[in-house]
Chain A
Amino acid sequence: MSYEPLNAYLLQVFLVSLFVNVALTLYGVFFKPHYTKKVISLTMLSDTLNVFAVFIGYRKWTSSAHPRPPILTEEPSGEAVSRFVATAVDPLPQALVLTAIVIGLAVTLFLTLLGRELYRHYGTLDMREVGRSAKHA
């Protein structure tokens, strides 16, 4: 059985869903007035871009070649390593995404604490009201 048509269809669905997700999260960051919704949108945007980064490192799945995760599951002989290199996906985007997740977590933590201080100072997390209060101050 040939996987190509199904794979091409799934690839389109995947890419379109990623693009829509990026657009909606950018909409949330720019146009949603509530601070918490902006932070949630930013987190979802970073997760979407991380998924896209991992996707860039993938290999094409065909009827003859089935990509594997970048972990060697047999004794590391010369032949096994050659087979591994011929089938494993690119490990570098996965490593960089792991770093990005941790940095994203640190940023989210900082933004959460910042939101808490904003609420303490202005009594609201509605950025329109915060902007108005900051102007009059």
Chain B
Amino acid sequence: MATTRIVVPATAKKGQIIEIKTLVQHPMITGHGRDNVGKPIPRDIINAFVVTYGGEKVFRADLFPGVAANPFFAFSTIATVTGEIVFTWTDDQGVETVEKRQLTVI
């Protein structure tokens, strides 16, 4: 599981558009580079980021090697009901990093 940093409000008013910002620690190795003896360094990136809220997908990103290391995303979602926001990052090996945050809607 990679280290993450998520900025999301803990509470929001119903109907309010909330801003969510996420960071995940990953070198995002492009696959274009070579090591010190000229051997290609294989690609190793996070290629997918999915966010669900109350079980429904509210944001998805397809990442290619052109995304900077330690990928950052900011996006928005409407606060509908109190529920869990689940963040899932998946890398080229299929390894997932999952984080959960509770959002209380008043």
Q: Do A and B come from one complex?
A: no
Q: Which residues of A contact B (CB under 8 A)?
A: none
